[in-house]
Structure 1
Amino acid sequence: MSPNKSASASDLEPRKGSPSPRLSEHAFKQRFLNQFQDPAYGRLQAELSKLASAAWDAYANSRKSPKTRKAGPGFADPDYELAVDWLAAREAITNAQQRHDDSNGPIRLLLINGSPRSEHTCPGEVSKSYRLLEIAKAALEQRPNTKIEILDLSRLASEYGRQIHPCKACFSTSAALCHWPCSCYPNYSLDQVHDWMNDIFPMWVEAHGIMIITPVHWYQTPSPLKLMMDRLVCADGGNPDPTSTHGKHAGEAKELEMKGWGYPRHLAGRSFSVIVHGDTEGAENVRRSLADWLKSMELVSAGPLAEIDRYIGYWEPYATSHVAYENDQAMQEEVRNAARTLYEAVAATRQGHQISVGADLPQPRQK
């Protein structure tokens, strides 16, 4: 949004009023201990009681980031204490950007499975999205000088300790309050740990091309994919210097934004492909919304062949949907073509032959 130069101090005062989520000591410890239901913990009650007391101390004193160090040179406030977790995430992103920018390096492609389904948990069966991803991967492996990374979001539902915590919507308070990479997690006092995004951010940064393959869930993207999407908001306009807002100081962030915010597009210029499949309804809208989201972050579509929405076994039984998939050879070839198109778009961009018409025109409105 364009800055409003006439905003007063009262205009920038953060609004309050929602009820407190704070727990009493009894409620906190009860919730903490509830995770140890397995009889294997039966002999450890004394130890668990000590752990519960330690966890309560961290919670009661809101020790979100217990391990910090001074930011150092290159930050607005070099003496500000930054979380070592955030500094490590920042270093990983910096290294990923260097790999992305290496003109002598391989073409880096990120393939994302958006389905939560796998045979390793309750559904008992692999997803069609993952099978489509394997087809795309096989097609890309035939191309020279490629490095393919797989991001399988089904692991959120099947792997111990694997989580993507929800976006806290800092951007809606102020773009400057949304740090790049995200500084909301981990929050040790709230047990908001094991956040996958610090691994996922560098995957997006180093990639020259991204392909998302996903089913439709109730006219929308599946929840694992949406969690990742929301958390990527910091990649599009986010603040790379948390010391400029002294952490999560909402008032300072508002003032900084109103001085004129540049909305840095940290993922701009990467090519993308989107493949959406459904059973009955919604594939067209999900494909469109994903493409619109990526374009809003200034990623570039690899072209019409790289954006696909299809129905597999339309209104047929779910029990035989994999048979329908196996019989749909045309769609499988369309996925191969989408992968080939993505590769060609990335190769042309790296050689300076891919032209995005209007990319150099100044935009009258910022995000």
Structure 2
Amino acid sequence: MAASDIRKEMPPVKMPREEFERRYRLRFADPVFDPLQRELDLVIAVAWDAYSHSRKSPLTRKAGEGFSDPEYQIAVDWLAAREAILRAQRKHDDRSQRPAVLVINGSPRTEHTCPGESSKTWRMVKLAETVFEAMGLAVNVLDLSRLTSEFGKNIHPCKSCVATSMPLCHWPCSCYPNYSLGQTDDWMNEIYPLWVAAHGIMIITPVHWYQVPTTLKSMMDRLVCADGGNPDPSSTHGKTAQEAKALELKGWPYPRHLAGRYFAIVAHGDAVGAESVRRSLSDWLTDMSLVSAGRFAEVDGYVGYMEPYATSHRALDDDAAFQKDVGNAARALGTAVKLAREGRLENPGRGLVDTNPKQQR
């Protein structure tokens, strides 16, 4: 297929003014907004103008030095996200800083919304955090349950730019925010630096229907740009598919932006699926060139197996063995991070040449 062969055959998605206004007003269904209809009319008129003219990134500036096209008008939001990642990388590389671990709560369950109760996953996160702190490591906790309970917290879906061409997938992601479509408040620009700054990543997650929860999967999909993504949007002049395809066909290096970090996984269920979730997470992280901290760092198991959900917290209270498994996973990861930081543990795959590199798959 020639680089210029851009396939376009899907139905249009642009809506008329009437439908746009109907959907926009749904956000203000609460009667408290009834006295503000005049003000809403003005806001909707401006929002329609932004939508109808597709003003995705209204605030831009010239890319400047260090970019393929210094004159390209690049989104100010993206530049801020890029600077946060660069700061995080400098912190990661600074030998005077304590080695850092990122612990991720993959559960959407929280007492602050409909379930009315905290999750067992959160308890495991706090257990792991205690272990890391006792080992002298810096710890950041990423609580993905905030997506279900906190106003303005979103991880918008991946738009699959990489399937058009890898260079079209920018690092960090440039798909959001999209102001014309109301796709704002995207959390990923805060999450990317947490991954970059970390020397170790620990994911603790429940099983939802044989899979990871949607909260965790949303973040995973949006991390595709960390594995081969293009750090220079000016090289494709934004989302210009034809330029991106031509760039890839010249030979794309697939930069691994998170390579070399160590990981641990705890996948827990109540009946089925823990093993497959743990394996899929391990495969995903390994494919991004992260390194497993070993057998004890990859845990799958069942808490309150086939017992009532209503007593599942008590089941965890009584399951000292599983609590120990969580602690062991944290200790294995913490040990790997510390040894690597001291130069006493090296990635066994370093320097080896991949006979089946990603661009040929």
TM-score band, normalised by shorter chain: over 0.9
Partner residue of 2:284 out of 281, 293, 306: 293
Q: Tell me, in whole angstroms, the C-alpha distance in 2 between the residues paired with 1:19 and 1:366.
A: 36
The answer to whether the Cα contact below 8 Å between 2:267 and 2:277 also exists between their aligned partners in 1 is yes
Q: How many residues align?
A: 358
The answer to whether the Cα contact below 8 Å between 2:268 and 2:274 also exists between their aligned partners in 1 is yes
Aligned match of 1:33? 25
The answer to whether the Cα contact below 8 Å between 2:100 and 2:200 also exists between their aligned partners in 1 is yes
- Segments of 5+ residues of structure 1 without an aligned counterpart are 1-6
Q: Tell me, in whole angstroms, the C-alpha distance in 2 between the residues paired with 1:351 and 1:323.
A: 40
Partner residue of 2:307 out of 316, 320, 328: 316
Question: What is the TM-score when the length of structure 1 is the normalising length?
Answer: 0.96
The answer to whether the Cα contact below 8 Å between 2:267 and 2:300 also exists between their aligned partners in 1 is yes
Q: For structure 1, which segment, 210-219 or 13-22, has the greater mean C-alpha deviation from structure 2 after superposition?
A: 13-22
Partner residue of 1:121 out of 89, 113, 116: 113
Q: Which deviations, in whole Å up to 9, do the C-alpha atoms of 1:5-63 show, x marking residues without a partner?
A: xx535xx4111101111111000011001110112111100000111111000000000
- Segments of 5+ residues of structure 2 without an aligned counterpart are none
Q: Which deviations, in whole Å up to 9, do the C-alpha atoms of 1:101-137 show, x marking residues without a partner?
A: 0011111110000000000000001010000001001
* 1:97 to 2:126 alignment: no
Q: Which amino acid aligns with 1:230?
A: D
Aligned match of 1:185? 176
* 1:112 to 2:104 alignment: yes
Aligned match of 1:75? 67
Aligned match of 2:297? 306
Aligned-CA RMSD value: 0.8
Q: Tell me, in whole angstroms, the C-alpha distance in 2 between the residues paired with 1:207 and 1:323.
A: 33
Residue 337 of structure 1 and its aligned partner are, at CA, apart by: 1.1
Residue 84 of structure 1 and its aligned partner are, at CA, apart by: 0.1
User: Residue 27 of structure 2 aligns to a residue in which SS?
Assistant: coil
User: Residue 85 of structure 1 aligns to a residue in which SS?
Assistant: helix
The answer to whether the Cα contact below 8 Å between 1:263 and 1:366 also exists between their aligned partners in 2 is no
Aligned match of 1:358? 349
Residue 356 of structure 1 and its aligned partner are, at CA, apart by: 2.6
Stretches (4+) displaced over 3 A: none
* 1:15 to 2:7 alignment: yes
Question: Matched residues, percent identical?
Answer: 59
Question: What is the TM-score when the length of structure 2 is the normalising length?
Answer: 0.98
Q: Tell me, in whole angstroms, the C-alpha distance in 1 between the residues paired with 2:348 and 2:101.
A: 23
Q: Tell me, in whole angstroms, the C-alpha distance in 2 between the residues paired with 1:58 and 1:278.
A: 45
Q: For structure 1, which segment, 34-43 or 80-89, has the greater mean C-alpha deviation from structure 2 after superposition?
A: 34-43
Q: Which amino acid aligns with 1:228?
A: M
* 1:50 to 2:71 alignment: no
Partner residue of 1:200 out of 184, 191, 200: 191
Q: Tell me, in whole angstroms, the C-alpha distance in 2 between the residues paired with 1:232 and 1:238.
A: 9
Partner residue of 1:329 out of 320, 324, 335: 320
User: Residue 82 of structure 1 aligns to a residue in which SS?
Assistant: strand
Q: Tell me, in whole angstroms, the C-alpha distance in 1 between the residues paired with 2:116 and 2:7.
A: 47
User: Residue 34 of structure 1 aligns to a residue in which SS?
Assistant: helix
Alignment of 1:138-177 (within 5 A): 138-144=130-136, 146-177=137-168
Q: Tell me, in whole angstroms, the C-alpha distance in 2 between the residues paired with 1:204 and 1:141.
A: 18
Q: Tell me, in whole angstroms, the C-alpha distance in 2 between the residues paired with 1:343 and 1:316.
A: 33
Q: Tell me, in whole angstroms, the C-alpha distance in 1 between the residues paired with 2:300 and 2:58.
A: 46
The answer to whether the Cα contact below 8 Å between 1:165 and 1:227 also exists between their aligned partners in 2 is yes
Q: Which amino acid aligns with 2:156?
A: H
* 1:280 to 2:259 alignment: no
Residue 359 of structure 1 and its aligned partner are, at CA, apart by: 2.6
Residue 279 of structure 1 and its aligned partner are, at CA, apart by: 0.5
Q: Which amino acid aligns with 2:169?
A: C
